[in-house]
Structure 1
């Protein structure tokens, strides 16, 4: 493919990604993969160049553009080498005209910026869209961070995490035999810190209410050396089905999965109520803390979607509280930097649940910042995904 043809292909893919963002369609990675399957003539260099164009445009544009061309033009206006590829050649993009629309650039729309937690200032903006590193978590059941350091010597320890090892983002770690042997998992430092903040102990009864594919479930099992019963729940069958083989690879034998039917969660968990020593609610959210990895989520943010997330979080927190035994602890976690999903959600929970208290010492020294009655992790301050964490203790 010519350089100009690569740009035109990126424009066509961006058209599909923007439409999917507006209509709730598939994520950008899935769209890109399908587009490349349909263009088998594209070589590895072509695919890499097209991907760079697509994601550079997504990171540069603050909301879903009117067209993929408008997004690429916003890049070309600041990049003369890109602009010259708009030359009207065969298979390439048409020549640029001064009056055609350009997408608006920036981190997010003014309306969305106003929703950020007060701790997220202007200094965070660049970090929010920088390319993320690759974080690994050593699985204590099979390995250690020292062993990861031997396998991947170009990495570095992650502050506050005994098992965390950070590598350059382009590292193909999962292709190493150590991954197949269960020695490590790929997991952002913020998610690892959530498992630490739960403060689980051997012999306890633990419920992961929104387990998904089980990343935090496995981190908890590793931290307690597989010495506690963990119930991993979710309403998404496809995601939850990924956990058993992952647990088998990790050597975690005390994990039970439970697929919940939406709207029937209370009935299906009736025999578990009031019995769990620890419950983690990693609730569905805007995903605003993960923009480094999924920058097109900015294009999907709407007031209606945020309202639905907040309502779901409220219900899940209430369900999680009912599962906690007297004196037990509930960890609320969202990969969000939006105040409504973080500190405000916890304030409302504590108002509705008299006698519950928020713990004040849940993260390692120097990690995170107090945000209301919880803690906020951000890319700029902590070098990890944006995350809000609050650990709440039930009255005895």
Structure 2
């Protein structure tokens, strides 16, 4: 018998629909069973977040840092700038539209406590370090490993990364649908699920329009460098876009992205360097989604927010997301730490963020990889011009 594999997104959709369908049927004692599980799992998630950051960001920084040369620096700066632009675009759009679309309400914790839905017992699992300590330690180790000639400590860090990835894929992601089921079961039992679903639909609609605008804007900028029709350039990248929609993986889409980027006129050596690198460090689509979802959930729960708060969050998110492509579950797992430490998201809000993010995971990945082609066009023009001047100088 062939084993049927159900992907993460279908399992989360089933969990959400099941929680909504039986939330009004389950008696309170049974609901408390799932609330108890969520309490324990939430503690484990809080314990895991600093380890996830340390395990994933350290090697990501070390692997990028071992490269050298002007092309690496220019590509990294452009990719980071594009990621920041998408984050601020998402914030300003959301700050303008969401207050009219979303009605502020109580926090998720207050909803549960108001209905008396408390766990039967709780287990405290304090993390080994706070999130900012883990981030600074990861940056320090990553940069140090990049500068060392020895591979001894790097191999230890890589083994630790493998352990963290195994923990995510074997423990966190399999239990995640059950955790989200418990969240929606509790919200349905508390009578709050309808307002939450309306928020979901509105956010998804706004983000879909935003990610189309972002791609058009990126290729308009690239067209200024190469003097071609931006819509023709973007059109040639559609095979990569739709491949990413199906695979939900930047890495799996690299071969298609390479071919289509070359068809846009990018030289083979530039494309071969920029496309794999940007698959790791350029995450405009993912950043756009996370910022929009975080802002919407903060407005929904009546949490205070302002531009300085989100500016710091976006700058830090752009760095933290470097670890995202190597993580099963994507950028949202790498960003949980700063969602908690900088925006004050509790376990319930983190679970909703994960559900919202994964619901649009394909579109974010497609936006990321298609945007890689625009960056390759810019780098090809900049580096090609520099290389040509160098050759002319040496010949003279």
TM-score category, normalised to shorter length: under 0.3
- TM-score by length of structure 2 reads 0.27
- Give the TM-score, by structure 1 length: 0.27
Please identify which structure carries the higher strand content: 1
Instruction: Answer 1 or 2: which has greater helix percent.
Output: 2
Structure with more relative contact order (C-alpha pairs < 8 Å, separation 6 or more): 2
